[in-house]
């Protein structure tokens, strides 16, 4: 049986439904090229950029164990112009610019640049970085989220865009967030979710934190995140039928991809597993997803996307 795993995010077409999570293998052009040239990535997203270069938080700022990772990278990146330049003439698969402006002034400048560059399509505005000291996550303040979306839409005009959200935990917060998100009809997709912010992993032997910044607190990624990501996809999919959902969190194999799509995702991003296992991750995910679809008799993603059965 021939299986087709093509998908769409907004109006952008992807041959396969997986790509990197922003932050992983996408800070410099060497790594971005590898992702772009890989036959098993459907798209590429850049590191969330600020207006200018940032070196990020002090090291060690990443650690990974059996169940996943903790990071407090602090948005190390090469600045907006570096990523915008890399994106020129990338026409064979979608490339998404991710941005996490440091303040309103930067947001204003970056959004204006994005509006003026036709080839930047569906940028991902990151409303959820937990690791910048003294900068709260926008997605956890609904007033800030509304003001930010208002400013983005006023500047971008008709240009479509997406947002990367933090994970939510209480159904009322999904209601509040959905009310705001559904108001903006140029918002074409949401990415659910960023890392679980301000977790703490401890080394029992040395009795130390695993990372240095923020007294050891950082974003939790990897296997810890799968149920949280699935719940976020599922709960937003119920509330936002007209917005595409990109799943992110806890993907290690084809079954995890299948579950994200079953919960309502149209595509998925891979973070910790990609960081730990490299680019061959995508070939493995492809083979495992196809095998599972064949076993279940599914020929394309739409046959099971969002069709989770409630018992």
Give the C-alpha separation, 254 to 249, whole Å.
Answer: 13
Q: Is 239 exposed, middle or buried (0-12, 13-18, 19+ CB in 10 A)?
A: middle
In the set 5, 70, 75, 145, which binds ligand SIN (CB under 6 A)?
75
12: enclosing H helix or E strand: strand 12-14
| Comparison of 26 and 149: residue with beta carbon closer to ligand SIN | 26
Question: What's the first-to-final CA gap in the chain, in angstroms?
Answer: 30
Neighbours of 89 (CB within 10 A): 7
269 binds ligand SIN (CB under 6 A): no
- Name the active-site residue from 26, 49, 129, 266: 129
Please state at what angle helix 142-156 crosses helix 104-116, rounded to 10 degrees: 30
Give the C-alpha separation, 53 to 158, whole Å.
Answer: 29
| Comparison of 41 and 195: residue with beta carbon closer to ligand SIN | 195
How many Cα atoms are found within 13 Å in the side-chain-facing hemisphere of 70?
22
49 is catalytic: no
94 binds ligand SIN (CB under 6 A): no
Q: In whole angstroms, how close is the CB of 130 to ligand SIN at the nearest point?
A: 6
Give the C-alpha separation, 137 to 8, whole Å.
Answer: 28
Contact flags string 222-261 toward ligand SIN, x per CB under 6 A: ----------------------------------------
219 binds ligand SIN (CB under 6 A): yes
Give the C-alpha separation, 90 to 225, whole Å.
Answer: 31
| Comparison of 122 and 126: residue with beta carbon closer to ligand SIN | 126
Q: In whole angstroms, how close is the CB of 164 to ligand SIN at the nearest point?
A: 7
195 binds ligand SIN (CB under 6 A): yes
Residues 111-170 that bind ligand SIN (CB under 6 A): 126, 128-131
Q: In whole angstroms, how close is the CB of 300 to ligand SIN at the nearest point?
A: 32
Q: Please choose, out of 8-16, 67-75, 199-207, 240-248, the segment that lies near ligand SIN by the rule CB under 6 A.
A: 67-75
| Comparison of 197 and 254: residue with beta carbon closer to ligand SIN | 197
Total residues interacting with ligand SIN, rule: CB under 6 A: 14
Residue whose structure tokens are 């049986």: 1
Q: Where are the alpha helices (DSSP H) in the chain?
A: 29-37, 80-87, 104-116, 142-156, 171-181, 226-239, 254-263, 272-277, 280-296
Neighbours of 291 (CB within 10 A): 13
101 binds ligand SIN (CB under 6 A): no
Contacts of 152 (CB under 8 A, 6+ apart): 107, 111, 125, 161
Q: Please choose, out of 26-34, 70-78, 222-230, 271-279, the segment that lies near ligand SIN by the rule CB under 6 A.
A: 70-78
48 binds ligand SIN (CB under 6 A): yes
Q: In whole angstroms, how close is the CB of 129 to ligand SIN at the nearest point?
A: 3
Q: Which DSSP state fits 194? A: -
Q: In whole angstroms, how close is the CB of 194 to ligand SIN at the nearest point?
A: 5
Q: In whole angstroms, how close is the CB of 198 to ligand SIN at the nearest point?
A: 11
Give the C-alpha separation, 215 to 61, whole Å.
Answer: 11
23 binds ligand SIN (CB under 6 A): yes
**Chain residues in the site for ligand SIN (CB under 6 A):** 23, 48, 72-75, 126, 128-131, 194-195, 219
* Residues that are catalytic: 129
């Amino acid at each position: 049986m021939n299986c087709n795993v093509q998908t769409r995010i907004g109006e952008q077409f992807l041959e396969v439904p997986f790509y990197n999570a922003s932050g992983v293998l996408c800070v410099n052009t060497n790594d971005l090229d590898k992702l772009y040239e890989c036959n098993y990535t459907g798209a590429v997203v850049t590191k969330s950029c600020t207006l200018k270069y940032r070196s990020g938080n002090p090291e060690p700022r990443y650690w990974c164990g059996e169940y996943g990772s903790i990071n407090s990278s602090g948005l190390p990146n090469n600045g907006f112009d570096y990523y915008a330049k890399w994106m020129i003439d990338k026409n064979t698969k979608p490339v998404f610019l991710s941005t996490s402006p440091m303040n309103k002034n930067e947001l204003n400048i970056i959004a204006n640049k994005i509006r003026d560059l036709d080839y930047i399509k569906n940028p991902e505005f990151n409303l959820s970085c937990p690791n910048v000291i003294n900068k709260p996550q926008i997605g956890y303040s609904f007033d800030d989220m509304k003001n930010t979306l208002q400013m983005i839409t006023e500047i971008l005009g008709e240009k479509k865009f997406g947002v990367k959200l933090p994970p939510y935990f209480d159904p009322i917060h999904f209601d509040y967030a959905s009310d705001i998100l559904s108001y903006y009809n140029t918002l074409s997709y949401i990415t659910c979710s960023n890392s679980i912010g301000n977790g703490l992993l401890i080394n029992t032997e040395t009795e130390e934190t695993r990372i240095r910044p923020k007294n050891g607190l950082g974003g939790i990624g990897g296997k810890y995140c799968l149920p949280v990501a699935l719940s976020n996809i599922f709960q937003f999919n119920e509330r936002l039928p007209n917005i595409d959902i990109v799943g992110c969190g806890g993907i290690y194999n084809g079954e995890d991809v299948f579950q994200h799509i079953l919960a309502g995702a149209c595509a998925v991003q891979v973070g910790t597993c990609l960081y730990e296992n490299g680019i061959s991750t995508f070939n493995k995910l492809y083979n495992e997803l196809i095998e599972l679809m064949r076993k279940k008799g599914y020929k394309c993603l739409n046959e099971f996307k969002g069709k989770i059965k409630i018992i």
